Structures are given as structure tokens and as C-alpha cells.
Amino acid sequence: MNMGPKNLINKFRLHSLVKELLKDFSKIKSADFREQLVKTIWSIKELRVMLKGWKTYIMAALGAVVTGLYMAGKITREMYEMLMGLLGSGAIATVAAKINRLSKDK
């Protein structure tokens, strides 16, 4: 599924952001970096189409991964609480979107 040149540019942008994050995970603390990452991910139409119906499950799985990292001592309590707050907000948003979609289908 090809979505055009703008989509391709966003894929390259996402790839470079992920590479930056893997080099220095502390970048996730920056609100500007997080905003840029989320906007870039959401701008890739293929991802939105692919994730339809799976976002809530992905949030739950990421929550489990973050908890595992914290329990293994790989991330600090501060980082754990920040990531879980973000994931919790995302999970609530996905459930709300699903409720809206179901109410429109009736």
C-alpha cells in the first residue's frame, strides 16, 4: 500500500527519530521530542490503517514491557512513572475512540 511521497518522507523522519532515541533514551524526557515522535508516527497513514483495532492491545503490551524494564532495574522509577502515565493516557484515548466509533455505527 503506497501512500505517496509525503508518507515516504514521514517514514524516513520516523526512522531517524527512532535512531536518535536508541542512541540516547533520555531524549524521551523532552516534551518536544515526544511531540515530534507522536506527530510523525500519526502522520504515516499506513500505520493508522494497520493499527486500526489494535491500539489498545499495543498500549497494554507496552505497559507490560515498561513494567518489566522497571522490575529488571533497567529504567528509573521516575522514567517508569512518566512512561506509564503516557501509556495510560494513550490507552484511555484508544478506548474513548472505540466507544465513539461504536456509537456512530449504530
pLDDT tens digits, one per residue of 14-61: 899 989 988 988 888 888 988 888 888 878 877 777 777 788 888 899
Exposure letters 67-83 (e unless 16+ CB within 10 A, then b): eeebeeeebeeebbebb
**Do 2 and 13 share a domain, yes or no?**
yes
Grid cell locating 99: 466507544
Please give the mean pLDDT across all residues of the chain: 86
Identify the domain containing residue 70 by its residue range. Answer: 53-106
Total domain count for the chain? 2
Residue finishing a domain among 35, 51, 67: 51
The pTM for the full model equals 0.55
Residue 3: predicted pLDDT:
60
48: three-class secondary structure by DSSP: helix
**Do 22 and 69 share a domain, yes or no?**
no
Q: Quickly count: other Cβ atoms within 10 Å of residue 33's Cβ.
A: 16
